[in-house]
């Protein structure tokens, strides 16, 4: 069995995703399907002997949707600025439309030129123009609605489309009679209903889009852990390339402060690497020749050359992103229940609306009231909250977890998490913040503790060693002034030295004491502290 994640275009509600999921599940060769409405993708497990991507995409087309190819996390786009501007414009138009159509009813002053009683033709035409602008705004809703109705997978858009078109056609019929001179029918225009229905559906989707973007941003942050460019060595010369240009076997160079571009093995040099995004360990790992490096790790203080072994989709970080995407594409039991209910809900609502319409006609009610009731049932009963809220909550939760370094392999784990009453951590006996911190200060000198930290932190600020950053952060937190340091010297593998106010200070491990012939009176304490790690 093979797995594939495809981008899907045209899904707008849970009935869409549920209908597509059902249709694909019926096809021979497809073992399992999970359609993700929020991320607009489908995780499909299929028999590669019977099907290929092209055939699966044909099934998606037959179901009334469109495949945009392999889901690419690198190309997740947020069109927030464009959508926000468009939404603001239509919000202003909606206010103008409601003012012209409803202002007179609530006692607001209306310009005579637009007044329905004084200039009914002008009133009718301006309503038509404003309404058609909203029809253009919501053309995607109308197209999806009728497309899914034709493919026998009616969804929320189908309900909205039936309601909007019904109101529009009835209003157009009355408009023709008004233009012919029957001005009394101006009260029977429902143009504003068609427009405002579309506006409120778009409002809901705009709000949902903000939540979806949070999850997309979390995935983008995972992707952006690796650098976009790297330096490779070709025939002894350095060449800067994009990460996509790196091939297996290339010699890649990493300098202090840079990120590891691809997974590989060190062939030259030594460095401390921060791998906390993978391991959670705050202490940078000392890496040397023959040891593996992971893409996205940060090189703190050394020059290394490493041979590229895993590139692109094979890298560790790409595997993590893939697991996150697969997790967001799985469904928790509660989400499956919501999908199942919404799948029956839409056809039932359409049937109830049609029956209500004919009952009103049979009882002798005005056709305008019958249509108004028909539209109300269709629009008010839209199962947005039922089918969208549950998967949205799950996907956003998974995005937040990913952003905080927590990998959720299946959505149902989140649902089961509420049953947890005990957590056991197996992580070398510790839980960390992901960065080194000063935990305890043992002072054998006559100096004040803060003075010692001020001296050490000031000298460490000139060092590139990762442990030195912890001392510098301590000074920042305590708002301790950093002193001027002269004659700074970094002694590789031992420590550092520097002069402050004409006093020389030596900072390092026990080996530096041997180098400077300094007696170490506290070896027993040192051994005890080392065992406490």
pLDDT recorded at residue 252 = 93
pLDDT recorded at residue 364 = 87
The pLDDT tens digits for 355-378 are 999 999 998 888 878 888 888 887
Residue 322 pLDDT > 90: no
pLDDT recorded at residue 389 = 63
Residue 255 pLDDT > 90: no
Q: Give the fold, CATH level 3, of 229-314.
A: 2.70.150
pLDDT recorded at residue 506 = 92
Residue 523 pLDDT > 70: yes
pLDDT recorded at residue 125 = 92
pLDDT recorded at residue 51 = 86
Of 264-278, 454-468, 483-497, 518-532, least confident by mean pLDDT is 518-532
Six token digits for residue 114: 């637009």
| CA pair distance 142, 120, nearest whole angstrom | 29
Residue 445 pLDDT > 90: no
Q: Residue 79 — very low, low, confident or very high, per pLDDT cuts 50/70/90? A: low
CA dist list (Å): 326 to 36, 271, 331, 532: 10, 34, 10, 40
When pLDDT is averaged across residues 338-348 and rounded to a whole number, the result is 70
Of 44-53, 81-90, 189-198, 324-333, least confident by mean pLDDT is 324-333
More confident call, 328 vs 195: 195
| CA pair distance 164, 381, nearest whole angstrom | 14
pLDDT recorded at residue 253 = 92
Of 39-43, 76-80, 164-168, 229-233, least confident by mean pLDDT is 76-80
Residue 384 pLDDT > 60: no
Residue 342 pLDDT > 70: no
Asked if 496 and 533 touch (Cβ cutoff 8 Å), the reply is: no
Asked if 328 and 287 touch (Cβ cutoff 8 Å), the reply is: no
Q: Residue 126 — very low, low, confident or very high, per pLDDT cuts 50/70/90? A: very high
When pLDDT is averaged across residues 414-431 and rounded to a whole number, the result is 74
Asked if 343 and 25 touch (Cβ cutoff 8 Å), the reply is: no
Residue 285 pLDDT > 80: yes
| CA pair distance 17, 35, nearest whole angstrom | 6
Q: Give the fold, CATH level 3, of 449-531.
A: Calcium-transporting ATPase, cytoplasmic domain N (3.40.1110)
| CA pair distance 175, 419, nearest whole angstrom | 61
The pLDDT tens digits for 447-502 are 888 899 999 999 998 887 777 888 998 999 889 999 999 999 888 778 899 999 99
Average pLDDT of every residue of the chain? 81
pLDDT recorded at residue 89 = 93
The pLDDT tens digits for 90-111 are 999 999 998 888 877 777 888 8
pTM reported for the whole predicted model: 0.56
* Inter-axis angle of helices 156-179 and 139-150, nearest 10: 110
When pLDDT is averaged across residues 382-404 and rounded to a whole number, the result is 65
Active site residues: 426
Q: How many CA atoms are closer than 13 Å to the CA of 271, on its beta-carbon side?
A: 29
Domain 2-72, architecture per CATH: 2-Layer Sandwich (3.30)
- Give me the residue spans of the domains in the chain: 2-72, 229-314, 449-531
Q: Residue 268 — very low, low, confident or very high, per pLDDT cuts 50/70/90? A: very high
pLDDT recorded at residue 492 = 72
Q: Residue 208 — very low, low, confident or very high, per pLDDT cuts 50/70/90? A: low
pLDDT recorded at residue 94 = 92
pLDDT recorded at residue 533 = 56
DSSP 84-106: HHHHHHHHHHHHHHHHHHHGGGG
pLDDT recorded at residue 180 = 87
The pLDDT tens digits for 13-62 are 666 777 788 888 888 888 888 887 767 788 888 888 888 888 998 888 88
Q: Residue 214 — very low, low, confident or very high, per pLDDT cuts 50/70/90? A: low
When pLDDT is averaged across residues 180-195 and rounded to a whole number, the result is 85
Of 115-129, 306-320, 446-460, least confident by mean pLDDT is 306-320
Asked if 452 and 423 touch (Cβ cutoff 8 Å), the reply is: no
DSSP 132-198: HHHHHHTHHHHHHHHHHHHTT---HHHHHHHHHHHHHHHHHHHHHHHHTT-GGGGGG--HHHHHHHH
pLDDT recorded at residue 205 = 74
Residue 265 pLDDT > 60: yes
When pLDDT is averaged across residues 238-263 and rounded to a whole number, the result is 87
More confident call, 153 vs 117: 117
The pLDDT tens digits for 143-186 are 877 877 777 777 777 778 888 888 888 889 889 988 888 888 88
């Amino acid at each position: 069995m093979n797995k594939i994640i495809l981008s899907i275009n045209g899904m707008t509600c849970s009935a869409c995703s549920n209908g597509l999921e059902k249709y694909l599940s019926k096809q021979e060769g497809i073992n399992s399907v999970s359609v993700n409405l929020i991320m607009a993708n489908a995780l499909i497990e299929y028999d590669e002997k019977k099907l290929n991507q092209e055939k699966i995409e044909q099934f998606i087309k037959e179901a009334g949707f469109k495949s945009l190819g392999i889901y690419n996390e690198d190309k997740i786009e947020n069109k927030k600025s464009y959508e926000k501007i468009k939404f603001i414009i239509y919000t202003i138009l909606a206010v103008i439309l409601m003012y012209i159509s409803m202002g007179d009813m609530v006692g607001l002053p209306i310009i005579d030129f637009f007044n329905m009683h004084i200039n009914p033709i002008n009133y009718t035409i301006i309503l038509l123009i404003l309404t058609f602008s909203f029809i253009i705004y919501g053309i995607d809703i109308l197209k999806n609605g009728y497309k899914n109705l034709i493919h026998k997978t009616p969804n929320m858009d189908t309900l909205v489309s039936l309601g909007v078109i019904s109101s529009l056609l009835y209003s157009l019929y009355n408009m023709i009679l008004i233009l012919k001179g029957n001005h009394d029918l101006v009260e029977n225009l429902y143009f504003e209903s068609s427009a405002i229905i579309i506006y409120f559906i778009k409002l809901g989707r705009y709000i949902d889009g903000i939540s979806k973007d949070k999850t997309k941003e979390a995935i983008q942050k995972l992707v952006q852990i690796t650098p976009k460019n790297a330096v490779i060595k070709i025939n002894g010369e350095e060449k800067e390339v994009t990460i996509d240009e790196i091939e297996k076997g290339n010699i890649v160079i990493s300098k202090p402060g840079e990120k590891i571009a691809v997974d590989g093995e060190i062939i030259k040099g030594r460095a401390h690497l921060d791998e906390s995004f993978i391991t959670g360990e705050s202490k940078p790992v000392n890496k040397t020749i023959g040891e593996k490096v992971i893409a996205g790790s940060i090189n703190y203080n050394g020059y290394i050359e490493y041979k590229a072994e895993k590139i692109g989709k094979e890298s560790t970080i790409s595997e993590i992103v893939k697991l996150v995407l697969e997790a967001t594409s799985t469904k928790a039991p509660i989400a499956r229940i919501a999908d199942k209910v919404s799948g029956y809900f839409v056809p039932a609502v359409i049937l109830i609306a049609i029956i209500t319409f004919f009952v009103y006609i049979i009882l002798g009610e005005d056709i305008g009231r019958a249509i108004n009731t028909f539209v109300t049932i269709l629009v008010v009963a839209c199962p947005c909250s039922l089918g969208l809220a549950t998967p949205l909550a799950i996907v956003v939760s998974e995005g937040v977890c990913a952003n905080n370094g927590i990998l959720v392999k299946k959505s149902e784990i989140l649902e089961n998490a509420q049953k947890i009453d005990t957590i056991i951590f197996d992580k070398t006996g510790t839980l960390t913040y992901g960065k080194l911190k000063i935990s305890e200060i043992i002072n054998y000198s006559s100096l004040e503790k803060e003075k010692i930290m001020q001296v050490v932190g000031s000298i460490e600020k000139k060092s590139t060693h990762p442990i030195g950053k912890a001392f510098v952060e301590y000074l920042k937190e305590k708002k301790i002034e950093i002193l001027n340091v002269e004659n700074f010297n970094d002694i590789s593998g031992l420590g550092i030295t520097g002069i402050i106010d004409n006093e020389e200070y030596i900072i390092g491990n026990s080996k530096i004491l041997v180098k400077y012939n300094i007696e170490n009176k506290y070896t027993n304490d040192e051994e005890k502290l080392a065992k406490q790690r």
